[in-house]
Chain A
Amino acid sequence: MKRQKISAFLLRFAVYLAAFITVGALLFVVGYILVKGVPNLSLKLFEWKYNSENLSLLPALLNTVLITVLSLLIAVPLGVFAAIYLVEYARRGSRLVRVIRMNAETLSGIPSIVYGLFGMLFFVTALKLGFSMLSGALTLSIMILPVILRTSEEALMSVPDSFREGSFGLGAGRLRTVFRVVLPDAIPGILAGVILGVGRIVGETAALIYTAGTASDTVSGIMDSARTLSVHMYALSQEGLYINQTYATAVVLLVIVVCINALSASLAKRFSRKR
């Protein structure tokens, strides 16, 4: 009897401790960055021009947006159309579908530095695109393609078959059924996947350093080398001279990531409420 009580107490203690450490670690990291970073935030950091007196993060912020848009332009159509093929056109449970799915899962487990290496060897060198936004975006789009493919697939599969039947029953063909009935219903789920992809892009450094390079100026085209916020942070902290500005950049990045997560959570909620 007494023994049971002791083990119950120990177990409860362990559970509380684990929960406390988990939440505590998150709060500590966020708090530490805010304390170090917020005082260093200033309007000067958002000036157009970057130089060694004023380490403006605006160019990096704009580059982040640009490279995200570019990567999505490549990866979203590919991923969504591939998912449509897998769910709507391919025979369910066919070998091809299984192979593609397994490939996608394997790809999503590869460390991003490997993508970076591949991007450098293939896009930068072999295709002679150089260190550029385009090389970076191409590399990133390959990296997020599995994420978008898998979430789009899940979203399409969660559309009830009764919708498809209803549409076929009215004489609609597969194309019309997919684009007018199935896809609109799957869009919130697909968007959630896209946002996950955006999160990975925004946080990525390894895949970008050797593909998009680390040039710190405002870019004038997609063939220019450019650094995103994460790469900017990496470069600053590596140089070790501008730690305060690094923290300020971290705050901006943190805010962006929190916004993206909130957006994705609210979309996922809307998605699940409908079911």
Chain B
Amino acid sequence: MNKFDISNLDLYYGQLQALKDVELQIPARQITAFIGPSGCGKSTLLRTLNRMNDLVEGCKITGNVLLDGQDIYKGGMDTTALRKRVGMVFQKPNPFPMTVYDNVAFGPRTHGVRGKARLDDIVEQSLRDAAIWEELKDRLKKDALGLSGGQQQRLCIARALAVQPEVVLMDEPTSALDPISTSRIEDLCVTLREKYTIIIVTHNMQQAARISDNTAFFLLGEIVEYGPTEKLFSVPRDKRTEDYITGRFG
């Protein structure tokens, strides 16, 4: 069962074409990794999936992006509802300047959840899912900006999970973190796969190889190769993929 079904997708920033005729099926409840050199369009495609590109001026998108068979760019798809289903974790941890609790409760409150008991439950469950409950349960009322970088990023993951999304988009979530925090987040991704569809952009090929089920290799706005991670890394079909994963450029 495919969660996302993307076809004929072209994306322009003004005159510049950032994505060219992208075709991609992303299966549900698996981890899909986007790899490729900087500026190849992988983050752009990720941001297309929850319409974060809407905020970019001069961004024009044509083609089809189906989420469970429904085109997210057509027919009154509401970005609020879409982003509730498709959550996002950013490259740099970006907790809001408020308490840990309010950070996690921000999403549910946005979508109309009221009542302390319900919010308490959601906050605890989300923090547990993000494997940070034990560390933070006594610090719920503390300012989130006082946490370490790794904790902040897991808090951001908890915040994204709190609205009970179906898909979690991760835009290089570990690039600003130390190796220990990175490995915790990788472990976390693997557990989250049971409940969520995860799409992760990464600069780190080992990371893609370690945690993802499928990998798409991007070059200059095109998908060069897409397939099961194991195959793509062991027997790449395309010469350019082979050159990239063996470190000949990038």
Q: Which residues of A contact B (CB under 8 A)?
A: 91-92, 160, 162-163, 165-173, 176, 180-181, 184-185, 274
Whether B52 and A170, one on each chain, are in contact in the complex, defined by CB atoms closer than 8 angstroms, is: no
Cα–Cα distance between A188 and B111 once the two chains are bound (Å): 29
Stretch at the interface among B83-91, B190-198, B237-245: B83-91
Whether B110 and A166, one on each chain, are in contact in the complex, defined by CB atoms closer than 8 angstroms, is: no
Tell me if B159 is interfacial: C-beta within 8 Å of chain A: yes
Whether A172 and B97, one on each chain, are in contact in the complex, defined by CB atoms closer than 8 angstroms, is: no
Report chain A residues within 8 Å CB of B16: none
Q: In terms of DSSP, what is the predominant structure of the interface of chain A? A: helix
Of B52, B80, B156, most A-chain CB atoms within 10 Å: B80
**Among A92, A166, A171, A274, which residue has its beta carbon within 8 angstroms of that of B96?**
A166
Tell me if B107 is interfacial: C-beta within 8 Å of chain A: yes
- How far in angstroms is the closest Cβ of chain A from B154? 14
User: Chain A: which residue is nearest B51 at the CB level?
Assistant: A168
User: Chain B: which residue is nearest A162 at the CB level?
Assistant: B94
Report chain A residues within 8 Å CB of B90: 162, 165-166, 169
**Among A92, A170, A274, which residue has its beta carbon within 8 angstroms of that of B110?**
A170
Q: Assuming A162-B90, A180-B106, is B97 touching A169 (CB within 8 A)?
A: no
**Among A165, A170, A274, which residue has its beta carbon within 8 angstroms of that of B87?**
A170
Whether A170 and B50, one on each chain, are in contact in the complex, defined by CB atoms closer than 8 angstroms, is: no
Report chain B residues within 8 Å CB of A91: 57
Q: Assuming A162-B92, A176-B110, is B159 touching A170 (CB within 8 A)?
A: yes
Whether B96 and A167, one on each chain, are in contact in the complex, defined by CB atoms closer than 8 angstroms, is: yes
- How far in angstroms is the closest Cβ of chain A from B104? 10
CB-based closest 3 A-B pairs = A162-B94, A171-B83, A169-B88
Q: Which of B91-113 contact A (CB under 8 A)?
A: 92, 94-98, 106-107, 110-111
- How far in angstroms is the closest Cβ of chain A from B126? 12
Whether A171 and B110, one on each chain, are in contact in the complex, defined by CB atoms closer than 8 angstroms, is: yes
Q: Assuming A91-B57, A180-B106, is B87 touching A169 (CB within 8 A)?
A: yes
Whether B94 and A166, one on each chain, are in contact in the complex, defined by CB atoms closer than 8 angstroms, is: yes
Contact sample, A vs B, 22 pairs, CB 8 Å cutoff: A92-B57, A162-B94, A163-B97, A165-B55, A165-B90, A165-B94, A167-B106, A169-B52, A169-B87, A169-B90, A170-B83, A170-B87, A170-B163, A171-B81, A171-B82, A171-B84, A171-B107, A172-B107, A176-B110, A181-B106, A184-B98, A185-B97
Of B81, B96, B111, most A-chain CB atoms within 10 Å: B96
Report chain A residues within 8 Å CB of B125: none
Report chain A residues within 8 Å CB of B52: 165, 168-169
Report chain B residues within 8 Å CB of A165: 52, 55, 90, 94
Tell me if B25 is interfacial: C-beta within 8 Å of chain A: no
Cα–Cα distance between A245 and B110 once the two chains are bound (Å): 59
Whether B156 and A171, one on each chain, are in contact in the complex, defined by CB atoms closer than 8 angstroms, is: no
Cα–Cα distance between A166 and B89 once the two chains are bound (Å): 8
Give a binary string over B40-71; 1 marks a CB under 8 Å from any A CB, 0 the rest: 00000000001010010100000000000000
Cα–Cα distance between A160 and B95 once the two chains are bound (Å): 11
- How far in angstroms is the closest Cβ of chain B from A78? 26
User: Chain A: which residue is nearest B82 at the CB level?
Assistant: A171
**New contact pairs (4) apart from A169-B50, A170-B87, A170-B163, CB-CB < 8 Å:** A167-B106, A171-B82, A173-B80, A274-B145
- How far in angstroms is the closest Cβ of chain A from B1? 24
**Among A92, A176, A184, which residue has its beta carbon within 8 angstroms of that of B97?**
A184
Whether A172 and B106, one on each chain, are in contact in the complex, defined by CB atoms closer than 8 angstroms, is: yes
- How far in angstroms is the closest Cβ of chain B from A232? 43
Cα–Cα distance between A168 and B110 once the two chains are bound (Å): 10
Tell me if B79 is interfacial: C-beta within 8 Å of chain A: yes
Whether B94 and A171, one on each chain, are in contact in the complex, defined by CB atoms closer than 8 angstroms, is: no
Cα–Cα distance between A23 and B69 once the two chains are bound (Å): 73
Whether B106 and A171, one on each chain, are in contact in the complex, defined by CB atoms closer than 8 angstroms, is: no
Q: Assuming A160-B94, A165-B90, A184-B98, is B160 touching A171 (CB within 8 A)?
A: no
